[in-house]
Amino acid sequence: MPRLVRLHEIDQFAEVVRIPEAAVTDDVLRGIRGLDERRELEPALQEILFDPNETPHGPTEIADLLTSRVVVRGDRRLAAFILKGKSFPQVGSRHVAYQFAKLRTVPDLGLSVFLAVGNIQDDAQRDFVQMALDGGTDYLVGDAVDCARLLIAYEKVCPIDGMPFDAQGSCPDGHRRDPGAKLEVPVRGDIYAEIQRLEDVSHNGAKRYAAVIMVDRHASRDALREVMKESLPTIRGAEYHRNDLVASRWKGTEAHVVWLYLAGTSEDARHSNWLARAQWIDPDLDESMKPVRLGGVEEQDGIEIEWNTQYDAMRQFLQSNAGSKGPLLDKIRQLVARAEPLWASAREELDALVRGDSTPDHFDEALERLRDPIDEIAQDSGDLPFPPEDLEDLDTAAHGFFGSLHNLALYYMDIGKEQWTHQQRVPLIRMALDDCARDLERIRGELERVR
């Protein structure tokens, strides 16, 4: 029987219990309501879930985030997330009905999640719950306060003003996030190992660290086991605490839980393509405080290890689909140059309809003529390679633009004509055109910053 799932029941969101609703001030709420779903909300959730997959916003998209990494009370689920950011201060059923409909096509969906930083209207919540009940999936509905608690708990936004932290750990108002600690670990022999990042993920019941360790990707598994074994005491004894409250609870105590993530290159770490993941749990830790087991295939000295058997294939895939800066810039510019006149034409048709200079039939005929060239651009944009790190923001803005533009074509495909009347399509088209305009401005801004 489908049931309502609470945020903390998702293992990857368990830290949300540390942030009470009372901690979400008006300033924080204002910051959260200003988050962009594609540029800020979606990437933050992917980082929390350790999900590196990036699905372009276009014809291949079923949900804003579709992942098999979500664990609900120890049960791994295929989960679909529908996200609404600052563009939707009021989220009604008409804004999300087409996305709800798409979720019905996902087989074996175990959890449907609807998160919005705006005000969720009753009809949107009603239709989402009904979709979940009809599809037999558990469901979770999260509003701006829930989003704030989650993103603060995992240090994605500033707890003072709700603004997102940048790569350097600063929010726009200048508040700094604790950057974490860097340690050196001596390992016997000539094995290269460096703890690139140490994160304190403790709670009141257990001191817990997560560490990303850079190693030689050519090292044998025996060598990597030695790295894990010899890194563990150093990490357990680290006196690093993310804030004074945690320090007051755990200073002088060795860690009860340690997670290790072994990466061969910085690109591996960027895309979460680990050589191995490992977990160590103090056997004396209270059972109620122990995290869900990693489910690794082996255990050495109390360290549970999960080897990534697809590491080389994933690395090859990432390399073969990585784009160099010049050609990727050229392709994005070419696609935008093809797409912008189509967007402008659709905007002119809508303006004419609103002024009364056009008829509904003429408007629908004009938009239907744009369907195929728009669909072709959306298909071509799906072949864009992975961007280099300094073009990630431009790539995100471009995919947002092509995805919003493709919605115009979707409304005039057979399924769209069956689902929506002319009166229902017009406000949806207006929203898609507004999204395109916003993303075009972002593209222009990012192109100006390219060096």
Q: What is the CATH number of domain 7-153?
A: 3.40.50
User: How far is it, in rounded angstroms, from Cα 243 to Cα 77?
Assistant: 33
pLDDT at 394: 87
For the question of whether the overall pTM of this predicted structure is more than 0.75, the answer is no
Q: Which of 72-76, 155-159, 331-335, 396-400 has the lowest mean pLDDT?
A: 72-76
User: How far is it, in rounded angstroms, from Cα 399 to Cα 332?
Assistant: 9
Q: What is the mean pLDDT of residues 110-132?
A: 93
Whether 375 shows a pLDDT value over 80: the answer reads: yes
Q: What is the mean pLDDT of residues 83-96?
A: 91
User: How far is it, in rounded angstroms, from Cα 316 to Cα 366?
Assistant: 44
Q: What is the DSSP letter of 428?
A: H
> Residue 8 corresponds to which tokens in the numbers above?
């903390």
Q: Which residues have CB under 8 Å from 68's CB, separation 6+?
A: 76, 77, 78, 79
User: How far is it, in rounded angstroms, from Cα 426 to Cα 436?
Assistant: 15
User: How far is it, in rounded angstroms, from Cα 326 to Cα 170?
Assistant: 30
- Residue 54 banded pLDDT, cuts 50, 70, 90: low
pLDDT at 278: 94
Beta partners for residue 208, in sequence order: 257
From start to end of 133-254, where are the E strands?
138-142, 181-184, 193-200, 208-215
Q: What is the mean pLDDT of residues 183-202?
A: 73
Which phi and psi (to 5°) does residue 440 adopt?
Answer: -65, -40
- Residue 17 banded pLDDT, cuts 50, 70, 90: confident
Q: What is the mean pLDDT of residues 12-30?
A: 87
Q: How many CA atoms lie within 13 A of 134 on its CB side?
A: 12
User: How far is it, in rounded angstroms, from Cα 188 to Cα 11?
Assistant: 36
Q: pLDDT digits over 278-316, tens only?
A: 999 999 999 999 998 888 778 888 999 998 888 888 888
- Residue 64 banded pLDDT, cuts 50, 70, 90: confident
> Residue 297 corresponds to which tokens in the numbers above?
């295939």
User: To the nearest whole number, what is the mean pLDDT of the chain?
Assistant: 87
> Residue 288 corresponds to which tokens in the numbers above?
């109620």
% the chain with pLDDT above 90: 43
pLDDT at 31: 94
Q: What is the CATH number of domain 322-449?
A: 1.20.120
pLDDT at 250: 95
Q: Which residues have CB under 8 Å from 56's CB, separation 6+?
A: 381, 382, 384, 399, 402, 403
Whether 185 shows a pLDDT value over 60: the answer reads: no
Q: What is the mean pLDDT of residues 6-34?
A: 88
pLDDT at 181: 54
* Cα diameter, the chain: 80
CB 331 within 8 A of CB 384: yes
Q: pLDDT digits over 236-281, tens only?
A: 999 999 999 999 999 999 999 999 999 998 888 878 899 999 999 9
Q: Same CATH topology for 7-153 and 322-449?
A: no
Domain residue ranges in the chain: 7-153, 181-318, 322-449
pLDDT at 142: 94
Beta partners for residue 209, in sequence order: 200, 258
Whether 450 shows a pLDDT value over 90: the answer reads: no
Q: What is the mean pLDDT of residues 50-71?
A: 74
